[in-house]
Chains A and B, each alone.
Chain A
Amino acid sequence: MKSGMLLQGGRILDPSQKLDEAGDVLLLGGKVESLGGRIDVGARDDVEIVDCAGLVVAPGFIDVHCHLREPGREDVETIVTGACAAAAGGFTAVCAMPNTDPVTDNQAAVGFIIRQAARAQAARVYPIGAISLGQRGEALAEFGEMVGAGAVAVSDDGKPVASAHLMRTALEYARTFGIPVADHCEEPTLANGGAMNEGIVSARLGLKGVPSEAEEIMAIRDILLARRTGGHIHLCHMSTRGSVELIQWGKERGISVTAEVCPHHLSLTEDAVEGYNTNAKMNPPLRTAADVEALQKAVRDGTIDVIATDHAPHHYDEKEREFADAPNGIVGLETALAVNITWLVARDIIDVATLVDKMSCAPARIFHLPGGNLRRGSVADVTIFDPDAEWTVDPARFRSKGRNTPYAGQRLRGRVHRTIVDGRAIYSTNG
């Protein structure tokens, strides 16, 4: 195997150093050796030359929110298949949520994920530990030991932290370890079995709705608790216009709040549920056009820091059922880039540099992860993509075991060309 890679003639895009120029990038020994201009490696035959003409060369994408299902539901995803799906989607690293079975709420469970990820030889996988033991919302999990084993954040994602006291304690306790507390904002008594956004569509379809306030009440609770404690709250998968206003409010006051949004909440509305389409069922639910517009604007103006997938694979027959009984979530790793380019970049809502910032630089910065930049000496995690190539989503070709996507059959723009981790290609369109 070659020990280096020369990425030749691409558009080097590294928003972390405000870099956007045509040139070469040389990766050697798992690090960025040099970048910019023409780089001549002479006659070295241990350096692979990669023609990047017409392609964007960016720091590797990092997904701070995905569900890899192992341990517990290896039939729908494993850490290996998830890490390979991530690689195919241009992600050099992903953060795995702890709602596994058993729950990732201790150092041994965190260590298991790290070991499985090492076997995958694909995207890096960073475990997120649970906030509470068993995600039961009662006793705090051992943050310190989990961080020691490799956890990068804590979250009870999938289960809202109902107790304000527990959230307060988690934010305080997490400060020792310098990790964010990521919260799935959902006021459980308001959401209470809701299957989609509450509004005219839910009223017409006769489906129980989840009002926006179920998210917003918890978002402002968390922001206020972050203010009280000085802890870092990271708000997962924001879906409403009201949440955007609350985050804005928090940021204006210097509160340590960061927020993510998912590609589906930036592209689809509750109308996608029409016909009881279970592949449009997720939590938080798809909202209205006004929400989508507010979220898009929040990505552009920086109110929302990160775009994360909330990749949630399910077995096809779990989705092939009555809407109210179908599980929440869609797969997202292999469509995220193209959905973002199609709905945001191609429609001039954000530029490609902003997209790279939301998918790479900001996630690395907020979760204190390696990568997220192409500085000399930085880890050689790189994503090369063609922002203009079009392709049609065919779930049968996903690396993920999950096929549950609302984008099946859609023609999207933006395609991953090569994904590089530690200077080694983990995914490449030509084999």
Chain B
Amino acid sequence: MSGSAAAPLGKDLLGLEPLTAEQITLILDTAEPFKEISERVIKKVPTLRGATIVNLFFEASTRTRVSFEFAEKRLSADTVNVTSSGSSVQKGETLVDTARNLEAMRIDMVVIRHGASGAAQFLADRIESNVINAGDGTHEHPTQALLDLLTLRDHFKRLDGLKVCIVGDVLHSRVARSNIWGLKKVGAEVAVCGPRSLLPNAIDEFEVEVFDRIDDAIAWADALNILRLQLERMQGGYIPSLREYNRVFGVSSERLERAPRDLLILHPGPMNRGVEIDSDVADGPFSVILDQVTNGVAIRMAVLYLLSGGKPELAEVAKGGGSR
């Protein structure tokens, strides 16, 4: 199932852990020319005309699903959205049967979001189509991390040596895992900060810095990537209350003002304002949260383009005529 030489990423994008630094940089570089398409009046190029893509979302998602759909449509692919409600999945169909049925319809690509870790690989191992992981359980969410990297690179003009701290529920976060792999591979320094009950017990084996106190993380970092605190973690007994979480780990402008330098603020969304991030930080001058969203479309266009066999060096040409 491995990709040919013509496919620089292989058949699928399942995570950043298996990728090389060169592959990650290639995706980021390929995204650059695609950024411009979204700025046009007519936001459409014929690059993927005739390609059929299924967006298979077994978990609720607005941002990621819409971002993928725009990326696909702006590349002129034919897309179908399948969500768990109203599909055969609700009738108890197994993932393997869903996969076989999709395959039988001769589709070209599947974008899958699923609550079970490994679901994207499960699908990729069983169908010929390209599979893009749009988030599998608590495993990986590679396109999110790629858009985070692109946003960091846009701002700092480099990733090598950059100090990025991921704050919050690393234990249950696929965004955190993909960011850790991606950042480390391109030479950034990575730290995590959060209550130990929300960090993997084996966090040291990831070879990242660990900060128990948010103030220490802020003093160290160039950028913070603040994870959403899933409200069910409180019911799960991992933390006593959202209120205390905010007091101990919440990123506030007061805390940021004590930092030796201005910190770039990222958040994969959706935000719990007043829990992991205060509104004045989210809406403040160093927040690039909406830039992340904009970059998300370009990153996904780049991934779709590269997986479909597009030549990286032709991305500029592939996007078609000049801007209007």
Q: Which residues of A contact B (CB under 8 A)?
A: 198-200, 202-209, 211, 275-276, 317, 320-325
Residue in B17, B114, B119 whose Cβ sees the most chain A Cβ within 10 Å: B119
A28–B94 Cα distance when bound, in Å, is 55
Q: List the 9 shortest-distance A-B pairs measured between CB atoms, nearest first.
A: A206-B139, A276-B118, A322-B116, A203-B200, A206-B138, A206-B117, A200-B205, A200-B202, A203-B202
- Name the CB-closest residue of A to B172: A206
Q: What is the 8 Å Cβ interface bit string for chain B, positions 111-153, against chain A (1 contact, 0 not)?
A: 0001011110110010000000000111110000000000000
Please name all residues of chain B whose beta carbon is closer than 8 Å to the beta carbon of A202 when the two chains form the complex.
200, 202
CB-defined contacts of B139 to chain A, threshold 8 Å: 205-207
A-B contact pairs, 8 of them (CB 8 A): A198-B201, A203-B203, A203-B205, A211-B201, A276-B118, A276-B121, A320-B96, A321-B96
Interface members, chain B 76-128 (any A CB < 8 Å): 94-96, 114, 116-119, 121-122, 125
Q: Tell whether B73 is near chain A: CB-to-CB under 8 Å.
A: no
Which residue of the partner chain B has the closest CB to A320?
A: B96
Contact surface of B with A, Cβ cutoff 8 Å:
17, 94-96, 114, 116-119, 121-122, 125, 136-140, 174, 177, 200-203, 205-206
Closest to A325 in B: B116
With A199-B201, A203-B200 known, 15 other A-B pairs at CB within 8 A are A198-B201, A199-B205, A205-B139, A206-B117, A206-B174, A207-B117, A209-B201, A275-B125, A276-B118, A276-B121, A322-B116, A322-B117, A322-B118, A323-B116, A324-B117
A320 to B119, CA, bound (A): 11
CB distance from A203 to the nearest CB of B (A): 4
- Which of A203, A208, A209, A322 is B114 in contact with, Cβ under 8 Å? A322
Residues of B contacting A207 in the complex (Cβ-Cβ under 8 angstroms):
117-118, 137-139
A324–B118 Cα distance when bound, in Å, is 9
The 8 Å CB contact of A324, one of B116, B200, B205, is B116
Q: When the two chains form their complex, are residues A322 and B119 in contact, meaning their CB atoms are under 8 A apart?
A: yes
**Contact partners of A320 in chain B: CB under 8 A:** 94, 96
List A contacts of B17 (CB < 8 A): 204
Neighbouring A residues of B136 by C-beta, 8 Å: 206
How distant is A400 from chain B, measured CB to nearest CB, in Å? 23
- Min CB distance A360 to B, Å, is 39
> A267 vs B269: C-alpha distance in the bound complex, in angstroms?
44
Q: A206-B140, A321-B94, A324-B137 are known contacts. Are A199 and B202 too (CB-CB below 8 A)?
A: yes
Chain A residues within an 8 Å CB radius of B125: 275
Q: Contact at B96–A205, with CB atoms within 8 Å?
A: no
- In the complex, residue of chain A having the shortest beta-carbon distance to the beta carbon of B125: A275
Are B137 and A206 neighbours in the complex by a CB distance under 8 Å? yes
CB atoms of B94 and A317 under 8 A apart: yes
A325: which B residues are within 8 A, CB to CB?
116
A residues near B121, Cβ cutoff 8 Å: 275-276
Report the separation of the CA atoms of residues A343 and B251 in the bound assembly, to the nearest whole angstrom: 53
Instruction: Closest B residue to A276 by CB, please name it.
Output: B118
Given contacts A198-B201, A206-B137, A206-B139, contact A323 B95 (CB under 8 A): no
Chain A, residue nearest B141 (CB): A206
Q: For the complex, give the distance between the alpha carbons of A207 and B202 in Å.
A: 13
Q: Quick one: closest A residue to B205, CB to CB?
A: A200
CA distance A203 to B203 in the complex (A): 8
Q: Which residue of A lies closest to B139 (CB)?
A: A206
Please state if B201 and A203 are interface contacts (CB–CB under 8 Å).
yes
Closest Cβ of chain B: how far from A253's Cβ, in Å?
A: 31
Cα distance A205–B200 in the bound complex, in angstroms = 11
CA distance A206 to B114 in the complex (A): 13
Name the residue on A nearest B181 (C-beta): A204
Q: Output the nearest chain B residue to A323 by Cβ-Cβ distance.
A: B118
Contact A205 to B118, CB < 8 A, known contacts A321-B96, A324-B137? yes
CA distance A324 to B116 in the complex (A): 7
> In the complex, which residues of chain B have a beta carbon less than 8 angstroms from the beta carbon of A324?
116-118, 137
Kindly list chain A residues whose C-beta atoms are within 8 Å of the C-beta of B122: 276, 321-323
Which residues of A sit under 8 angstroms from B205, Cβ to Cβ? 199-200, 203
Chain B residues near A205: list those with CB within 8 A.
Answer: 117-118, 139
Given contacts A321-B94, A322-B118, A322-B119, contact A204 B177 (CB under 8 A): yes
Q: In the complex, what residues of A have CB within 8 A of residue B95's CB? A: 321-322
CA distance A199 to B202 in the complex (A): 5
Residues on A with beta carbons closer than 8 Å to the beta carbon of B137 = 206-207, 324
A residues less than 8 Å from B119 (CB atoms): 322
A201 to chain B, nearest CB (A): 8
